[in-house]
């Protein structure tokens, strides 16, 4: 049940103290006596989205799979049990997913987002956000602003993106990538993958306990902590203006890898040298330019360094190491790009990538610049396009696709997918199956293409909602949450053979909660939330494949 009360007070939601309640709405009880009642309750819940207001709302879900768009204001949202999708809109929002595999979208404002139990996907959006995964294998993306991310227990994936971010993996084998900005990353307990990002500002990387992989760019400062750690220094762009620093190298258990470009790799063992400072630290030079300063109990030797041209370091995949006797520097042949990335891994920053996932693998693919083309697999994929005009194809499985900046094309494929366009004029398509997808355009003039049961939110801008009814009537209608008749458009796609007949059998009527419902052959195909009732004159029609 969703319940608002006119009494001013405090509401305790799953351990989070929520603020004053200021509304007066009591929705219909959601009965769960049987499967039919659950479906009816879910439809009522979805239909209630326009009850969120520009004010500061307190919204509560149910034990079902809820979709809640809080819109504007400083909102407080609790999904409770179920696989929920919670969207904060603008304002400083507090959201708790609760039990289940939840998706939380903070969007604009300084948001405080908690996943709870389950494998959650949490996106901060703009401004300075706090993201908490808690229990489960969670994916946290700060996006813009100076964000703080805490993975909690489980194998978590943390992405700072833009801004000066603080990332904390906590327990489990975590993957951390700071993105752009001056970031601080703590792996915590477990065998962690810690990467500062591809820019040239200083990041601080601390692996913590466990056998960690730390990937550094120019100016970064690295501490492996306890365990056998690998320090991978990406010098593929050439000499550094500021060298990387390793604080606690132990030659008996740690390893250093230096990634070079093709030209430097060919001459690498001839152009690399090590010198020892008076304070005992070792300085590594490449082409007479300082790239690395290493603090260790004993002076660094050339045999302690491995050279590679790999654009991405994956020690489990690198085999057949060759020992080069001249200079005693180890060199590894170039590694081919991985075609499937496990859920705890991420790709480096590249200008153009074309990546496909392998069958039955849950992929985690994160891009930060350039126009990327990413294809998922039959697993539950998470794709983050980053900047640029990206194409993200989820394939089979329940996928999460996030275009972020740029004019992106997102297609969920089959499965129950979540698509978030972000900034730019985006093209979003849930897929051709009849399970529920959630499509949110974000900022910009977006095109959202829906099938049966899909839930659509355009966001800011002049959006086009295209409902594909070419296969006939729906068992479950699609939902449009935020239609603005002054700037948005609705298009119904009909089968070409029955186009003329279809126009005769279509009508628009209001339902009991104020939505405008479009019927085809007396079956509801889309329910629309709008400020004023709609008529057939507000809706366009087109033929399939035209």
Burial grade of 467 (CB within 10 A; 0-12, 13-18, 19 or more):
buried
**pLDDT given for residue 28 in this prediction:** 38
**pLDDT given for residue 280 in this prediction:** 87
Phi, psi of 528 (to 5 degrees): -120, 125
For residue 247, give the H/E element and its range.
Answer: strand 244-249
**pLDDT given for residue 342 in this prediction:** 31
Residues whose CB falls within 8 Å of the CB of residue 25, separated by 6 or more in sequence, listed in order = 2, 3, 4, 51
8 A C-beta contact, residue 159 and residue 346: yes
User: Strand 221-223 relative to strand 244-249: parallel, antiparallel, unpaired?
Assistant: parallel
| CA 396 to each of CA 18, 376, 379, 419: distance values in angstroms, whole numbers, following the listed order | 38, 8, 7, 14
Ramachandran region, residue 528 (left: φ > 0; alpha: ψ -120 to 50; beta: rest):
beta
| Spatial separation of the C-alpha atoms in residues 145 and 365, rounded to whole Å | 21
User: Strand 289-296 relative to strand 523-528: parallel, antiparallel, unpaired?
Assistant: unpaired
Give 443's DSSP letter: S
Q: Encoding tokens for residue 351?
A: 């200008």
Phi, psi of 74 (to 5 degrees): -85, 95
Residues whose CB falls within 8 Å of the CB of residue 105, separated by 6 or more in sequence, listed in order = 85, 86, 87, 88, 123, 125, 420, 440
Q: Which three-class secondary structure state does DSSP give residue 461?
A: coil
8 A C-beta contact, residue 119 and residue 138: yes
391: Cα within 13 Å, side-chain hemisphere: 8
123: Cα within 13 Å, side-chain hemisphere: 27
| Spatial separation of the C-alpha atoms in residues 411 and 409, rounded to whole Å | 7
Residue from 124, 146, 122 nearest 136 by CA:
122
| Spatial separation of the C-alpha atoms in residues 446 and 463, rounded to whole Å | 5
- How far does CA 30 lie from the centroid of its chain? 31
Counting runs of H as helices and runs of E as strands, what totals does the chain give?
3, 49
Residues whose CB falls within 8 Å of the CB of residue 537, separated by 6 or more in sequence, listed in order = none
For 294-348, the pLDDT digits (tens) are 999 999 998 899 988 754 433 333 333 333 223 333 444 333 222 223 333 333 3
Phi, psi of 152 (to 5 degrees): 80, -155
| Spatial separation of the C-alpha atoms in residues 76 and 113, rounded to whole Å | 10
| Spatial separation of the C-alpha atoms in residues 540 and 252, rounded to whole Å | 71
For 101-134, the pLDDT digits (tens) are 999 999 889 999 999 999 999 999 889 999 999 9
Phi, psi of 173 (to 5 degrees): -85, 100
Q: Encoding tokens for residue 195?
A: 């990467």
Burial 89-108 (b: 16+ CB within 10 A, else e): bbbbbbbbbbbbbbbbbbbb
Q: E strands along 327-399, which residues? A: 329-331, 354-356, 364-366, 373-375, 382-384, 391-393
Query: For the chain (length 546 residues), average pLDDT per consecutive 10?
Result: 28 31 35 46 42 74 89 91 91 95 93 96 92 96 93 95 93 95 94 91 94 95 95 87 93 93 70 87 90 93 84 36 32 33 34 42 52 75 82 88 90 90 93 88 94 90 95 88 93 85 85 89 92 92 81
Long-range pairs of 268-271 with CB within 8 A, sequence gap ≥ 24: 268/307, 268/329, 268/331, 269/307, 269/324, 269/326, 269/327, 269/329, 269/331, 270/326, 270/327
Q: E strands along 24-155, which residues? A: 58-60, 67-69, 76-78, 85-87, 94-96, 103-105, 112-114, 121-123, 130-132, 139-141, 148-150
**pLDDT given for residue 365 in this prediction:** 57
Q: What angle do CA 434, 520, 535 make, to 5 degrees?
A: 115
**pLDDT given for residue 30 in this prediction:** 35
3-state class percentages of the chain: helix first, strand second, coil last, to nearest 5? 10, 35, 60
Q: Encoding tokens for residue 200?
A: 């040239």
| Spatial separation of the C-alpha atoms in residues 193 and 185, rounded to whole Å | 10
């Amino acid at each position: 049940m969703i319940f608002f009360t006119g009494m001013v007070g405090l509401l305790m939601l799953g351990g989070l103290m929520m603020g004053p309640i200021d509304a007066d709405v009591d929705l219909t009880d959601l009965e769960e006596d049987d499967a039919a009642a659950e479906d009816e309750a879910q439809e009522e819940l979805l239909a209630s989205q326009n009850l969120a207001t520009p004010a500061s709302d307190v919204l509560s879900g149910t034990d079902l799979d809820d979709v809640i768009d809080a819109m504007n204001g400083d909102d407080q949202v609790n999904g409770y049990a179920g696989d929920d999708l919670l969207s904060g809109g603008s304002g400083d929002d507090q959201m708790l997913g609760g039990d289940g595999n939840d998706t939380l979208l903070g969007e604009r404002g300084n948001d405080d987002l908690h996943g709870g139990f389950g494998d959650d996907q949490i996106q901060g959006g703009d401004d300075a956000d706090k993201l908490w995964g808690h229990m489960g294998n969670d994916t946290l993306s700060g996006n813009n602003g100076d964000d703080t991310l805490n993975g909690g227990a489980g194998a978590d994936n943390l992405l700072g993106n833009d801004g000066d971010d603080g990332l904390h993996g906590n327990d489990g084998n975590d993957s951390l990538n700071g993105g752009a900005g001056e970031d601080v990353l703590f792996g915590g307990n477990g065998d962690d993958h810690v990467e500062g990002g591809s820019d040239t500002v200083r990041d601080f990387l601390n692996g913590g306990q466990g056998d960690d992989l730390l990937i550094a760019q120019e100016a970064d400062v690295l501490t492996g902590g306890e365990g056998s750690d690998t320090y991978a220094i990406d010098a593929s762009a050439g000499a550094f203006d500021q060298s990387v620093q390793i604080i606690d190298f132990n030659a008996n258990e740690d390893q250093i890898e230096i990634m070079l470009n093709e030209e430097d790799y060919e001459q690498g063992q001839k152009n690399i040298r090590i010198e020892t400072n008076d304070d005992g630290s070792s300085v590594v030079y490449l082409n007479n330019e300082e790239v690395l300063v290493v603090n260790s109990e004993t002076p660094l030797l050339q045999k302690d360094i491995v050279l590679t041209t790999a654009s991405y370091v994956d020690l489990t995949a690198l085999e057949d190491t060759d020992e080069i006797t001249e200079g005693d520097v180890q060199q590894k042949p170039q590694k081919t790009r991985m075609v499937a990335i496990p859920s705890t891994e991420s790709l480096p920053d590249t200008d153009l990538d074309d990546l496909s996932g392998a069958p039955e693998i849950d992929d985690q693919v994160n891009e930060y610049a350039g126009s990327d083309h990413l294809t998922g697999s039959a697993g539950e994929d998470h794709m983050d396009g980053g900047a640029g005009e990206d194409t993200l194809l989820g394939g089979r499985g329940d996928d999460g696709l996030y275009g972020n900046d740029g004019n992106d094309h997102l297609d969920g494929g089959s499965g129950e997918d979540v698509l978030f366009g972000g900034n730019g004029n985006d093209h979003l398509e849930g897929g051709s199956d009849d399970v529920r997808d959630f499509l949110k355009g974000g900022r910009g003039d977006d095109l959202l293409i829906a099938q049966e049961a899909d839930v659509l939110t355009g966001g800011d801008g002049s959006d086009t909602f295209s409902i594909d009814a070419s296969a006939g009537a729906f068992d479950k209608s699609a939902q449009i949450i935020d239609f603005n008749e002054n700037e948005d458009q609705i298009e119904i796609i009909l089968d070409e053979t029955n186009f003329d007949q279809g126009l005769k059998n279509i009508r628009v009527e209001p339902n009991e909660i104020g939505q405008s419902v479009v019927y085809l052959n007396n079956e509801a195909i889309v329910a629309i939330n709008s400020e004023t009732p709609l008529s057939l004159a507000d809706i366009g029609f087109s033929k399939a494949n035209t």
